[in-house]
Structure 1
Amino acid sequence: MFNGILIEKDDQGYRAAVKDIDESVLPEGDVTINVSHSTINYKDALAITGKGPVVRRFPMVPGIDLVGTVEHSESDKFKVGDQVLLNGFGVGETHCGGLAQKARLKSEWLIPLPKGFSPRQAMAIGTAGYTAMLCVIALEKNGITPDKGEILVTGANGGVGSFSIAILAKLGYNVVASTGRVEQAEYLKKLGASDVIDRKALSEPGRPLAKERWAGAIDSAGSHTLANVCASMQYGGAVAACGLAQGMDLPASVAPFILRGVTLAGIDSVMRPIADRIEAWERLADILDPEVFEDISTDIGLSEVISTAEALMAGTVRGRVVVDING
């Protein structure tokens, strides 16, 4: 038995609780891990609260991120005692995840804990920081350099937004943060934003083409926000789209793409090839300063996970939440 969050669905309804979990619940895998830290992402909050169809198999341990130590391995890639990291691959959705003391996973989903990061720091970054880095790499590959102009980051107070600002600012970009919590402007400017705008300027239906402003953008909102971001890009600009906090729809026009040559780069972090993951994590290790983790993240234990998931869905959580599994 081990302690963790378990989501169940039956005749009594949908529920999540902290409880002792029998090891028989764990699915097949060639590596068993003693989990030390995990996180709460937006997808985890959807799963825990039942407000989104995230979980595809029951019972389920949520948690799309984890870091821990190998307890048992049938793989030649990892040995007992190795520290490993996981982001995505359907973990917490179709395969039991990281919000428990133990996980059994496929070795091809794992990478070694990156040098320079403690387990806690790696989870302060988590899928949010890793996704932010993938977005920045996409902008770079599309020729968006710091001298091109302002870079917009939507959902700036969230995990992806917070790390996007910190990474871009460290690389010398002029970052403008869009948020529904403008009272958090000081926090966003401390991360590196040069300006903060209210998300209302982007979240309502807009025109097919707007005044050119942004050289690049990282969007985690989708819907009208993403449509308006594309409409206000400079000629040859690029947008990295990685989320749907406002909605899955995209009520946009082809005008920005065929009249201004705008690139819309879709960013998937869940099934990303291992080589891309390693590149992103190595870049993060090179770029991020240790103090960023203190500004962006807070720490909780397993007993606080469910209430924190509710708060995240209510939009009252800033930055990243690190879960000390044994805390």
Structure 2
Amino acid sequence: LPPFEMAIHEGGARSVMNAYTDTDGVPSAADESLLTGLLRDTWGFDGTVVADYFAVAFLTLLHGVAADWADAAGTALRAGIDVELPNVKTYGAPLTEAVADGRVPEELVDRALRRILTQKIALGLLDPDWDPVPAALDGTDPDDPESLRGRVDLDSAGNRALARTLAEEAVVLLSNDGTLPLDRPRRIALIGPNADEPTAVLGCYSFPQHIGVRHPGTPLGIGLPTLRETLTAEFPDADITYVRGTGVDDGDLSGLDEAVRAAREADVTLVALGDRAGLFGRGTSGEGCDAE
């Protein structure tokens, strides 16, 4: 909870998204003590709460705590979810009918609507001169991608410097017995499924892992030097032996003996283990497939 409290109190977050998870059998999307009691009453948050994409529908489909779409909508509204994403499934006709026949109090709809309109007013979205077209797109031809080129720079020097700082400060060295930094070893054994995998440095929401995996053969679109390539460039005079050993989750142990031999013959051994980032079953780490 502390990171979320800091995001609100120190970061000024104005919108919050619930999680798909449940705690002690209570889904976050149905947890009034979490989304209203803690978030609003204790922390003083007065912005909007939006549903993690299918969280409201999942109250029926996945968690089984709502009997139908109307019940799911009422449960989520009561808990404190103001907006259903990514599209209207339960907050439309099912909710309208449930309010009309008294199953869901109209006050819950009014409460959510008031929060949404208040935020839109604060952002100027209801001003008469507001234009939904971003400045970068103004005057461009939507059917001509070339008309947008040069208007937005996502790879500026400033962005790269910030990305480098974030990467450097995010590295955690648990302990160092004096092995690091390496002192020009003559023989290096590089072992592990992520030692020669370009996407090992990416998260599940990176473009190659999020979209690219659905389109085999599509170029990564970005330079991703592997640990093997970087090590070779850093130690050009060393004899580097690379052994995959095993996969992340394929159960193939046939390369372990070779990995052991390589490690025994080397001056230093680098082992690159870890996860494969992906979403909902396409990885071992990422949204919908984290394993503790």
Q: Between Structure 1 and Structure 2, whose CA radius of gyration is higher?
A: 2
Q: Which has the higher contact order (CA 8 A, sep 6+)?
A: 1
TM-score range, shorter chain: under 0.3
TM-score by length of 1: 0.21
